[in-house]
Amino acid sequence: MTLETVTLWRPVGPEELALIRDAGMRAFPSRLPGQPIFYPVVTEEYAVKIARDWNVRDSGAGYVTRFEVRADFLARYPVEEAGGRAHREYWIPAEDLDSFNAAIVGTIEVTHEFG
């Protein structure tokens, strides 16, 4: 039996990337107060746009991460549209992030860097 996974992307700034590296590239850091939802996105193009256009502006650098998540875990969350069909993402409540991290298969990879 093959484990089904879904490829997701997450645009991050340098501080979040440092925390991901501290976790051995296997987990995303806990949300900060005022961040009730974790937003992984469903397309690389959307992640690139956020990393390049927003993360660079806000923190001087932007990175796109790619990772695999167990499909059975993601099945409990709908894909949400954040302002249009090209902007699709999952909305994972902060209290579910530990379970989300446990559902990551393999490691988190950096696929793009912007500065």
77-105 pLDDT, tens digit each: 999 998 878 899 999 999 999 999 999 99
Q: What is the DSSP letter of 62?
A: E
Using the predicted structure, report yes or no on whether residue 2 has a pLDDT greater than 80: no
pLDDT tens digits for range 43-73? 999 999 999 999 999 999 999 999 999 999 9
DSSP for 15-35, written as a single string: HHHHHHHHTTTS-PPPPPTT-
- Tell me whether strands 79-81 and 88-90 are parallel, antiparallel or unpaired: antiparallel
| pLDDT for the residue numbered 83 | 80
Which pLDDT score, from 0 to 100, does residue 1 have?
64
Say which residues have a Cβ less than 8 Å from residue 30's Cβ, sequence separation at least 6: 94, 97
Phi first, then psi, for residue 59 (nearest 5°) are -135, 5
- Closest by Cα among 111, 115, 15 to 56: 115
